[in-house]
A and B are shown apart, each in its own frame.
Chain A
């Protein structure tokens, strides 16, 4: 041991760390102070780690520092190299790492408590059960979410009969195993509970469709925080409890916000298996009306003679990596005196705020990014609404067709604009599998093709004029 600080001194250091976290999150509420806030949070974390290492009971430095070195290398390389479009995957994996770590702490502490045939006291056991089960499910669920986002696993909902019952049974088994491990004092039982909880995590996320990923990621975020809280109760450690509670609150709030933005309850998102409804309801006769395809040249002319253009980006923009070219197109328009704004739906993309990050990467100033409530009143004054890879969040059926599965979901009202141009790969329906009547609207024209190539063609056509 190097310094041998008392528990009391270290508790005060944890208080400093907690204040750093609170102030750091507070500063995240404005883009101007956010970056400094992130540094403040990181400083709090360093204080917590350093003082823990100096605690008199901590002895095995080589061991601990080796673990930190490995984790820091993986984390730093991942953070430096990840593409902005892959941010949902990255956050999913980070959630999983946090959950797995919480379960690890609970299992190791359980083993220590039962080392000489003892059993943990009831309340500690309850906390151990909580963090082991939450940790296992968060770790495995996050890996599945990663697989779906990375398109290693089919993005569409995977469903089988009796799924709900199987899931409930698996979850109960995980909890039951964890609960009986305490009086038995057997670490392997708790380990088994962790594995079964992981199986539940897989079953839990598999049926959830790609478009619902914002809710899932936010929820797993909350779970990773609550896992840390559980570990905090196991060790009676305030730093874990406070840090975990802040994350738990953040994840919970974002989960509720995302569900609200889809006008669905959280339970419906998690257990409703979006996409199922449409396959039974989907064959609602031939679609009436015709789709008008257009050329880059026509769109370029249309855009340059506009006074106001609202760009509506969606997941298709992320898939095609089109954000930089869209930024360049918007610059060209701005040079010609066109007023350009971006309309951001809260659930556009695959995680909360996904589109904002991509456009920030493309150096679009955030003053041009408008939330749904602020931009919707402006569509009637827009000459062109340029929809790039967004589908369900623009579907007017959400406002007009009570039979539609997305009826009641707040949408970007692009159909109020004087004209609509949709950049789309093909006429395939969106992720939710719902037809979009917007494409049949007489004032809508479609520019088919990869979003990025279409935008590049548009830029060439604009420059040729």
Chain B
């Protein structure tokens, strides 16, 4: 077994528990932006695409790598903007007018 595997598994498990704890506190009202926001984070795969492209030395790898890069970028950009747009629509209730000032 790869030496790194145990360490990577450790990080995976810790992050999974942390994700569970953090996400379980998000109110139902925000579940849609949560999904699109999480989708944006998933775009971190862009880093992998860049790494692969950087090492690519044949056409096939380059094409597939470029495709991956384009998709990941779409994920990052689209995910972030759509989340931001949605969240912009969640406004606090305007201050209710004071009733009796007397």
**Residue positions of A touching B, CB distance < 8 A:** 7-8, 11-12, 14-15, 18-19, 22, 238, 242
Contacts and interface: CB of A to CB of B under 8 A. Distances in A.
B5 A15 contact: no
A18 B10 contact: yes
B17 A11 contact: no
A242 B3 contact: no
B13 A12 contact: no
Contacts of A242: 10, 14
Contacts of B5: 8
A18 B14 contact: yes
B10 A15 contact: yes
Interface string B1-30: 101011101100110010000000000000
A117 B8 CA distance: 35
Contacts of A11: 6-7, 10
A242 B17 CA distance: 13
Given A8-B5, A18-B13, A22-B14, 6 more contacts: A12-B6, A14-B10, A15-B6, A15-B9, A18-B10, A242-B14
Interface residues of B, number: 10
B14 A8 contact: no
B30 to A, nearest CB: 23
B77 to A, nearest CB: 34
A8 B2 CA distance: 8
Contacts of A7: 3
A72 B5 CA distance: 34
B13 A238 contact: no
Nearest to A23: B17
B1 A15 contact: no
A33 to B, nearest CB: 16
A12 B10 CA distance: 8
Nearest to A11: B6
Nearest to B5: A8
B3 A22 contact: no
A12 B4 CA distance: 11
A15 B3 contact: no
B17 to A, nearest CB: 5
A14 B6 CA distance: 9
Contacts of A14: 10
A12 B12 CA distance: 12
A22 B14 CA distance: 9
A238 B13 CA distance: 13
Nearest to B4: A8
A8 B7 CA distance: 9
Contacts of B9: 12, 15
Residue among B5, B6, B9 facing the most chain A CB atoms (10 A cut-off): B6
Contacts of B14: 18, 22, 242
Contacts of B6: 8, 11-12, 15
Contacts of B1: 8
12 contacts: A8-B1, A8-B5, A8-B6, A11-B6, A11-B10, A12-B6, A15-B6, A18-B10, A18-B14, A19-B17, A22-B14, A242-B14
Of the listed residues B3, B7, B9, the one surrounded by the most CB atoms of chain A closer than 10 A to its CB is B7
A182 B33 CA distance: 51
